[in-house]
Amino acid sequence: MPDRENKKYKLMIFAGEASADLQASALGNKLKKLLPGIDLMGVGGPRMKDEGFRLFYDSSTWSAIGVIEGFARVPKFFSIMRGMAKAIVSEKPDLIIFIDSPAINMRLAKFARKRKIRSLYYFPPSAWTKKVKRATAIAGRVDHVIATFSFTADFYRKHGIPIEYFGHPLLDLVERITPQEALRNLGLKENTIYLGLLPGSRVQEVKTLLPVMIETGKILKEKIPGLEFLLPVALPVLNEWIRPRVEESGLPVHVFEKRNFEVMQASNALLMSSGSATLEGAIMKKPMTVIYRLNKFDWHLANFLMKSPHASLPNIVLGRGVLPEFLQDNMTAAKISQEVYLQLTDPARRQEIAGGLEKIREFLGEPGVIDRVAEYVAGILINDKK
């Protein structure tokens, strides 16, 4: 314990997306308790800022969807990488943690390795591609890798690549509250049917998906007059686009700042983007309908790289289509509304999906994940300071 209290540690975390910001803030919270006085810094969003991180860049508006949009942002990303490289050199952190976002993080990991700065990859990006070359490249640029799915860890180990696995941190982050408690926390009425709308955390994602969600809502409202809608805004920057569209729709939509977990728990069913939130809903065993659309080039590229017929994380993890997915040209309000209507009105359909999600926990480990990850990170910092 003297080491933890008397020595100062500098930890830098790179979190390029909203989901990574959530994970980094949760880890930072635990590390502050294990290592009082730890200096937290890096790249992230509002959650990391609230947790006391010194942010060199706010990543909440970065996220690009697909290669074409990504290319348009290349100059910006190169500028960011140069700025972060300077921060690495000037700050000389004891450890850098990279979370997902391989386009930037793999390059920065290589930069840090050349300067003998220790690093760790959390949420390695090769989970779905199953490419040995990609996994080897990741392991060759960092000192430690932590997988968040059991099959990712198995894949690395099968090919002789060292990796740690403690479970998936969403098990700890998905709040353990009942639907009734969630309704009370949000100030909502009971005995009302609620559909949760989760259009994602990227600006372009929301612009693509929310209009279809609203059209779907209008169809459903005619069939279920008492239906109301819950919409959590993932990031403050999305407010200026979301709120005017919601008001124009004329639908009874309750908009909340963040509050994702409570909204999901309070909802009878969910209509959502194909992102990490689908895994949160799966842990809750919620009926969900997943939608997504990319430009044609990125869609074909994604199919080539993913080697999976599924788009949502629960379906990919389970290896079968438990959740209905409406992708690309199938993402129409008429088609989507038929499935959502069943989930809202047919107990058998809801139970079918909930039953299909039962096994998701087998792939995610046991609760207490963030504590175990934090202890592991603290151990790295302490041992390197001895």
160 and 115 in one domain? yes
Residue that is written with structure tokens 């279920």 in the block: 224
Q: Which of 255, 291, 284, 247 is nearest to 268 (CA)?
A: 284
pLDDT per position in the chain (386 positions), as tens? 445 555 789 999 999 888 899 999 999 999 999 999 999 999 999 999 999 999 999 988 775 444 344 444 556 778 888 999 999 999 999 999 999 888 889 999 999 999 999 999 999 865 555 678 888 888 899 999 999 988 889 989 988 989 999 999 999 998 778 899 999 999 999 999 999 999 988 888 899 999 999 999 999 999 999 999 999 998 888 888 899 999 999 999 999 987 999 999 999 999 999 888 999 999 999 999 999 886 564 544 455 445 567 778 899 888 888 999 999 889 999 999 999 999 999 999 999 999 999 989 888 999 999 999 999 999 999 987 65
Q: CA geometry: angle at 32 spanning 31 and 34, to 5°?
A: 60
Give the pLDDT confidence score for residue 372 in this predicted structure: 98
Give the pLDDT confidence score for residue 272 in this predicted structure: 96
Q: Which of 28, 34, 43 is nearest to 5 (CA)?
A: 34
**Tokens found for residue 378:** 């603290």
Q: How far apart are CA 197 and CA 240, in angstroms?
A: 17
327 and 233 in one domain? yes
47 and 106 in one domain? yes
157 and 200 in one domain? no
For the chain, what's the residue count?
A: 386
Q: How far apart are CA 170 and CA 23, in angstroms?
A: 8
Residue 174 lies in a domain: no
Question: How far separated are the first and last CA of the chain, in Å rounded?
Answer: 13
Positive or negative, the CA dihedral 188, 191, 195, 200 is: positive
Q: How far apart are CA 310 and CA 308, in angstroms?
A: 5
232 and 132 in one domain? no
Q: Where are the alpha helices (DSSP H) in 285-346?
A: 296-306, 313-318, 333-345
Residue 218 lies in a domain: yes
Q: Which domain holds residue 273?
A: 179-363
Residue 313 lies in a domain: yes
79 and 20 in one domain? yes
Positive or negative, the CA dihedral 295, 296, 297, 303 is: positive
Q: Which of 29, 8, 10 is nearest to 87 (CA)?
A: 10
Three-state SS letters, 182-201: HHHHHCCCCCCCEEEEECCC
152 and 189 in one domain? no
Question: Measuring CA to CA, how many Å separate 329 from each of 212, 213, 333?
Answer: 12, 15, 11
- Are residues 365 and 168 in contact, defined by beta-carbon separation less than 8 angstroms? yes
Give the pLDDT confidence score for residue 299 in this predicted structure: 47
Residue 228 lies in a domain: yes
Q: How far apart are CA 332 and CA 355, in angstroms?
A: 27
187 and 133 in one domain? no
Q: How far apart are CA 230 and CA 264, in angstroms?
A: 8
Residue 48 lies in a domain: yes
If you ran DSSP here, which 8-state letter would residue 364 be given? Answer: T
33 and 142 in one domain? yes
Amino acid at 261: F
Give the pLDDT confidence score for residue 75 in this predicted structure: 67
286 and 153 in one domain? no
Residue 248 lies in a domain: yes
323 and 299 in one domain? yes
Residue 264: in which H helix or E strand, if any? helix 260-266
Amino acid at 219: I
215 and 135 in one domain? no
Residue 142 lies in a domain: yes
Q: CA geometry: angle at 306 spanning 111 and 358, to 5°?
A: 110
CATH code, 377? 3.40.50.2000
Give the pLDDT confidence score for residue 304 in this predicted structure: 44
Residue 173 lies in a domain: no
How many domains is the chain partitioned into structurally?
2
Question: Measuring CA to CA, how many Å separate 351 from each of 250, 286, 289, 337, 360?
Answer: 31, 9, 14, 19, 15
